[in-house]
Each structure stands twice: as structure tokens, then as C-alpha cells.
Structure 1
Amino acid sequence: MKQRINRHGAARPTPNVTVSVRIDKVVAEGDGFGHLEDGRVIFVEGGLPGELVSARIVKQSKDYARAIAVEILEPSAQRVVPPCEYVAQGCGGCDLQHASIDLQRQIKLDIVRESLTRLGKMTAPDIRLFASGELPITGARTTLRVAATPSGSVGFRQRQSHLVVNVEHCLVAHPSLNALLPTTHLEGAQEAVVRVGVSSAERLAWSEPADSLSGLPVDVRLGSQAIVHEVVAGHIFQISASSFFQSSPQAAEALVDATRRALGDSAQWNAGPVVDAYSGVGLFAATVFPSDRHVIAIESNPAACSDARLNLAGRDVEIVQQPVEEWAPVAAAVVIADPARDGLRASGVEVLVATQASVIVLISCDPASLGRDARLLRDSGYVLEYSEVLDVFPHTHHVEVVSRFVRDETMGDA
């Protein structure tokens, strides 16, 4: 078999060749990270820190290669048998089931620390694991995005593939959603969203076109206008099919708790309004701010804004339906920002720092965007005090991070 030679003179393995790799760590997308003999980095699906694996090369370039672990030559003491049968069938929904829960959480802490160090240019950042108790590991997810198999049954896509594995029971899904999976039929659409409100027992399903779904019980509400209700921190929330909500009510409670902690004592805040950027259905506006504060809630999703108007009725709230980047900033006491995976970016940071808030609490669902945003905030005069990591997506590499940034008054209006 031919081998290509790299600029260092070492033979470069060709695709489908098997190589031995020592895994140094797990990186942001859940792959093991190591080095080939020719010096290039290699990302290995299924590898855990410290393991020696035999890996089959599936893709490579001049700088890196990608591979799949086919044999674990020296396993980690924290490697476990995946508890879900569909992992062996190729389901890509949960990519860390082969690691113990303790190791999964350590991996997430390490990923966040590396992102803040490498991308954020932070020195020894304070990274903490969620401080308010245990979060559920299975049976809690209340929103699922399912995909159609060629026969019309539903399941989840294989990792980095359009192929769909038919799934009749998801390890992490709420029982009320698992009850729908065996009979749900999807034809004429590729994906659908199913959601349950645990406190209300209401269920919905949404796909486009609307008549692409069948096989659902009569109680399941259909379409983009369908709603469920959920209780978080003593507040009732209406959640539409096309509105974003946290992965479970327990996850929402945990984020509310961590965000309150990051905001600090409201008696120490400056005068003025408070800002809830990327406010969604009003989760934080309803739960973390004192009732006597004027809240500016900024959200671009029309359905979420419609939900928020109901969820925040009776409070002193101004709902601004536009992208955060287009909002004209005003002076504010504190800011909460919960952007999508791509983070605040420079345009969002520019708007939020213009409020001159004494504290900005950033809620990030992607470690890389956290690192980039942290550096932008630092360069704009804010100091990262700490980041709290919440494992609200167990068995996956996904993570939520609540970070407290405090304005450095010595930098003036930097």
C-alpha cells in the first residue's frame, strides 16, 4: 500500500489505514486528540484521555487527520459500556456514553478551561462545576429534534452523517416523549420537533409541512402555533413550538440558580434598568431580577416574544423584538446575555458593553464561542471572575457555562 511522505520525511498514512494513537485529551466536539508519527494532530472518535487506541483513518489533510477508534488497546479506568443500545447502531445523539459520568464532567471542565486559555487568552481562569446539586442523567430531556428514516419512522442521525438510526426509546428523553417515538411517522419532511411540558403534561409536535406527521396520540398538539406550559422557579411559562427553551425544567432551574449567583446581590447594583439579551420566552426576566427593576428584554424570534408578553405580564418589562446587534444601547445596571451557539461576536459585545453595566453574565452553550466572547469582553474592559459549568446535556460533549464578567472601572470607557 502506498504511503505519502510529509515535509518532515515521515510516512503519511492513507485513508482506511489503521494507526496506533495515544489520546492526550478530548476536545470540544467530543473527539479524542492525539498526534501521528509525522507530527500532525489526529482527532479520534471514541477515544478517551490517556488511552492507546487503534484508529482507522477516515479523512486527512496536510495539517490533521480524522479517525474512528476500532480497538481500545489500553483502556481508561473510566471507560464504561454505553448504557444505550443505539450507540452500537451508530446513533450520534450521545457521543460520550463510553465515559463515566465523572469523566464526562471532567472533560467538560477541561474543554472550557482550554477554550478560555487558548481562545480567551485568560491566565488560570476560575472554572467551577455547578454548585447547587445533582442534575438528572437520564429521562429528562423535554425537547427532541427527530429525523425521518426512509420508511418514515423516526430516530436520530448518525454522527457526521445524514443517515438516520431508527430509535424507539431515547436514554435521555422524558418518558412522555419516549412514548411517542415508536408510532410517530414522518413523511414529506426530514425533521420534526417534539416537546413536553412536564408540569402540564402537554405535548406538541411540529414539522413543515404540517401534514407530514402522523401516528401521534390525539392529545399531541400539532403545528408551529402549538404550545405547552412549564413551571420553573415557581413561574408558569408558555412555550411555543418554534420558541427555544432549555433542555429540561431541571436544566432551566439550574441555569436560573447559577445566573442569580453570578449576578450577585442586587442591593449592590447601580441604579437603572437591567437588560436580558437574547431573552427567549422570558425565563431570566421572570426569575432573576427584583420586581422593582425595569427590565429590557431583547429577542428577535417573534414566537418567543409573543410567549414572553404572556409570561411577563404584570412585570415592568419592555420587550424589544429585534436582534441584539441592532438594539440602541442605554445605560444599565446589569446585563444577562444568553446567545445562540455562535455567541455574542464582536457586534453583540459592542452593544452590550455600551450599556456600561457593572456586571455582564454570559450564558454560553459552546466553549469556543465562550473563549472568543471572553477575549472580546476583556478587551472592552471587563474582567472574568469565574465560569460555572453545568452538565445539562449528559452523555454528550455539549455544555452550558454561566460566566460572571465585572467592569474594570480603572479602564474608564474602554
Structure 2
Amino acid sequence: MKALIGVLLLSAIGSAAKWHLLSWAGSDTLREVQFADSMQGWAMATKDLFHTTDRGRTWTVEQTLPPDSGNFHSGFAGLEVVDSCHVYLSGGLWSWSQPRYMNWTVFVKERLRGSWTTPFHLERYGDYHWVYARRLRFLDTLTGWHLGQDYEVDVRTNDGGASWRSFVSFEDSSEAGYDAWFIDTLTGWAVWDSVGMTTNGGDSWSPKTANIGARRIQMFDTLNGWVLSTYGLMQTTNGGDSWTTVVAETGLKAMRFCNPRHGVAVGLNGRILRTTDAGASWMPDTASAAMDLCSVFMVDSAHAWAVGAEGLVLGFGDWAKPGIDGETQLPLPVLLARAWPNPCRGTLWITVRDGAGSVVVYDDCGRPVAKVQSSTRRTEKLDLRSLPTGVYFARAASSPRAGVRFVLLR
């Protein structure tokens, strides 16, 4: 077992690109995003799961946590999209049954062909023992793993989620599992701050590298892969026996590769690093909004998304650039406003980031159809019940480039 063997500095060789604002999915922080293809994807907040079918330009709430009703929700924690018909979601809740004792439940839900199944529950009683769901990983439609904050919710399935059984973490069972990655049904790696490897599907684990602050992992084969740690981006070429710090930078929160050559890492204050040469160099990209980013996903080198604070959704690729909308032939709004719910059914709340002037709503032909006079408030309520179903654009009169695209359903 070896620790770090070297540090390489960030290289900015190549040309930086810009990530463009697509939309705002709700108003809470989005913690995870995954896409099944270039059109359809899901984004997870603490209490809501959003779904898009138009590359992230509009989102609908597909799952939401029920009111507490005496329970305390730790919220949604794990999201895995295998394909458009197989989506998995995990979360947790707890409640007090008697003084000093708590019931905690971790649940895993499955979306099959558009319908969500009854969740599978893992339950336990404890003495002030707080347990959280953390991460889901699926290899295919049958084989998956769930990592929790406690070893009793480290479970796996071989039948697509119909049943689950426990597996044992590779170190102290009290350690929290942050992430896992499997390249087949037997061979995988997991990170509990350290890195461990299994060759039997999780029945036993061999420690690889200890105490490197590992939080995310992605492996391409038995030798090559990457870890995102509290110290930066680390690379292995020997199966995890040793790791080289390639990007020494704190504040990175997520990473994703679509293949061994193309990958992205995102973090605080809109930080985006991208590689097109297998990590030999990392280019700092720019974003339309310098807000914290929590998750990133790549379908291929031309289609990527990043999500984060206040429901922010960014897109990467020529398709995401502001300009002419192929359907409406109208200039797409740039940024600085947020509308929810989106789609809406008559009542829309809109936040204008400069907080001044009136808000004007235009139809898809560019005609003004509604106006709300604003003073110094940042959030306005729009009554659009008299308008027909369609695509609309809300803009701040005092800032023509501040706008948002939304869908009205009747």
C-alpha cells in the first residue's frame, strides 16, 4: 500500500470553453445530475427529483419527499440513471419511537418504464445513532450497490432492486462510504476517505491507499482511474495501489469522465476544469454564473451538464449556446432570472437578480402578453391563468439580457 507519490501542477494548455445557463430546476441546491442520453436526464435536490426531456431547458418534479408527519427526512441522497427506463433513487428518514431510541429507514426506489415502484426499506433501531443514505451505483439494469453512512446500509442487488443483501466495507464498519465504482459484477473500488478494492462483488475488500481524503472515484479498467479528494484530482495507473495528485486544488466537489480522454471536475464559485487528453492537462472553463457547483455529468465530449446552488443548471456544447431557439426562432434568455415552478399551470414566481424595473412576459412570437411592475423586490408573482399553453419568455425591462424561458401548461 502506497500513499501519494507526487504532485503535478494544473496545466492550462488548450482553449477554455464556456458553460451556458440552461435553466433553474426549483430553488434548492441540486446535489446530483445524470442523463440517460443527450435529451433526457434527472437532477436531485434534497427533497425533489426533477426530470427533463429537452436537454435540461425545462424541468418537472417527478418525485418529492412527503411532509414529515413526525418523521425527520435526511432527504434524497443517491441517484443512478442506467437508461431512460431504469432510474434508481435512495434517501433516508428517522423518527423517535421512545425516549432515546430512534427508528431509521433507508429507502431505494426504482423507476421502470416511467412508473416508480414501491420503495425497498432498510430499518434499524438505535440509541442516538444517526444514519444516512449516501450513494447508489449500478453496473447494469440488474446489478447495483448502495453505500451508506453505516455498514448496515451497505447493500447490493442482483435482481434490479427487487431484493437487497448486505456487503461489508473494507475497513472499520463505522466509517462512511462516499462512493463506489464497478467495472464488472465482481471487480470494484470504494472510497471511505481511503480506497479499497473488491474482486468478489463486495463480499471482501482489500485496502489500497489510506487517508487520501477520497470522495469520488471512477475507474476505466483494472489499472486506470481517478479519485476526487479533499486535496484535488488524483490519478492511478496501478489499480489504486498508489495515486498521483494531478490537480492540487481544494474546493472541487464532483467529477465525471465520459471516456478515458474526456472528463470534467466542478466545485465552488463556478469552478470548472476539463480535460481532453486523459488528464495530461486540465483547462479552466468559464460559466455564465459563478455559483457553487455540486455535480457534473457527461454523455459524450459534446454533451455535459453541471448543477448546483439555487437549482442552477449549466450546459456544455454547441447546443447549449445562447442564440436562436430552433423551435421558436427567438433569442434565448441569457441569465440573471429564475422562475418556478417550471413548467407552471398559471401562477409563476420569478426572481430578477438585479431586483429593479418591471417584468415583461413574451409569447413565442416575441409579443408582450403580460407585465408586472416591480419596485425593489427581487421576487414577483405572475398570474398567467388567462394565457394559453405554450413557451414564454420573462424578461426584466431594466436589464434586457436578464430573462428566463418557461413553459405554461393548462
Give the TM-score taking structure 2 as reference length: 0.31
Structure holding more strand per residue = 2
Higher relative contact order (CA 8 A, sep 6+): 2
Give the TM-score taking structure 1 as reference length: 0.31
